[in-house]
Chains A and B, each alone.
Chain A
Amino acid sequence: MSTSIHLDPWQVAASLTLVALAAAISFWQKADLERDIAVATVRSFVQLTAIGYAIKLIFEADTLWLVFGLLAVMVVFGALTARSRAKKVPDAFWPLLIALALAGGTTLGLVVALGVFEPTARYLVPVGGMVIGNAMTASAVALNRLGDEMADSRAKIEATLALGATAQEAAAPFVRRALRSGMITLVDSTKTTGLIFFPGTMVGMLLAGANPTDAVRLQLILLYALLGSVAIAGLIATALAYRNFFTSAQQLREP
Chain B
Amino acid sequence: MLFELSKVSLTRGDRRVLDAVSAAIPVGVTAIVGPSGAGKSTLLRLLNRLVDPDAGTIAYRGRPLDECEPLALRREVSLVPQLPALLEGTVESNLAYAAGLAAKGLDAERCLRLAGLAVDFTARDVAELSVGEQQRVMLARALAQGPAVLLLDEPTSALDNVARDAIEATLAQLRRELDISIVLVSHDPEQARRLGDWVVRLEGGRAIEAGPIEEVMA
Contacts and interface: CB of A to CB of B under 8 A. Distances in A.
Given A162-B81, A164-B145, A254 B12 contact: yes
B49 A165 contact: no
Interface residues of A, number: 18
A206 interface: no
Interface string B65-92: 0000011111100111101011110000
Contacts of A81: none
Interface in A233-255: 249-252, 254
Contacts of A162: 48, 50, 74, 78-81
Interface in B65-122: 70-75, 78-81, 83, 85-88, 97-98, 101-102
Contacts of A106: none
Contacts of A173: 87-88
B210 interface: no
A249 B68 CA distance: 10
Contact of A155 (B74, B83, B145): B83
A254 B45 CA distance: 13
Given A155-B81, A158-B81, A251-B50, A164 B138 contact: no
A173 to B, nearest CB: 7
A39 interface: no
Nearest to A162: B79
A169 B101 CA distance: 10
B81 A250 contact: no
Of listed A173, A249, A252, residue having the most chain B CB within 10 A: A249
A161 B98 contact: no
Given A163-B74, A163-B75, A163-B78, A156 B98 contact: no
Contact of A158 (B50, B73, B141): B50
A251 B97 CA distance: 19
Contacts of B102: 163-164
Contacts of B145: 163-164
Contacts of B139: none
B108 to A, nearest CB: 16
17 contacts: A156-B86, A158-B81, A159-B85, A159-B138, A160-B85, A162-B48, A162-B74, A162-B79, A162-B80, A162-B81, A163-B75, A164-B72, A164-B73, A165-B101, A173-B87, A249-B52, A252-B50
Given A155-B83, A163-B98, 11 more contacts: A155-B85, A159-B138, A161-B74, A163-B97, A164-B101, A165-B71, A173-B87, A173-B88, A249-B70, A250-B71, A252-B50
Interface of B: 12, 48-52, 70-75, 78-81, 83, 85-88, 97-98, 101-102, 138, 141-142, 145
